[in-house]
Amino acid sequence: MDQLEKYAKNGRINEEASVMDKQSIIIPAPIQEVWDLIVALESWPNWNSQVSSLNATSDKEFEWVFCNERFHSKIAYMEEPYTFCWISKGSLLKAVHVYKLDEINENKTSIVLEGSMQGFKTYFSFNHRKLHRSFVKWLEDLSNSFEHVS
């Protein structure tokens, strides 16, 4: 995972990975509120319907179940409130995820979620279509958690 950590520490995914996706959304909330929710790892199961459990094992590492896959992950880079990157290792999968936030105005935040996955499972069960759908749902769930903000 050392190579993947190098990508994540630079706010990048592995562009040579077998599976990649990039999705974006505008969230109706201030950038700091969005950031605070994203980095509150143990709250992910409360708003992300694809995360069934998450346990922070240290201030930078966490174990979680995402789309029925168990992952061990490590935060590789954070630049508050703009960039949040982590790497993950699962059964026959390795991934880099990058959140990039940008303030549109005081009540709107643009988010780009980008990820790369590699490993045996990307050829059979965790393909591009599954990653794409999971990213779209991830951002929808995140946006829905801010519906009360206008």
Tell me the domain boundaries of the chain. Answer: 2-144
pLDDT of residue 19: 96
What's the whole-number average pLDDT of the chain?
Answer: 94
pLDDT of residue 148: 59
Whether residue 149 has pLDDT greater than 50: no
Q: Say which residue the tokens 């459990």 belong to.
A: 53
Band the pLDDT of 1: cuts 50, 70, 90. low
Please give the share of the chain, as a percent, with pLDDT higher than 70: 97
pLDDT in tens, 69-117: 899 999 999 999 999 999 999 999 999 999 999 999 999 999 999 999 9
CA pair distance 50, 67, nearest whole angstrom: 5
| Tokens standing for residue 39 | 């980095």
The reply to whether CATH 3.40.50.150 applies to domain 2-144 is no
Whether residue 150 has pLDDT greater than 60: no
| Single pTM value for the model | 0.92
pLDDT of residue 2: 79
3-state secondary structure of 46: helix
DSSP state of 67: T
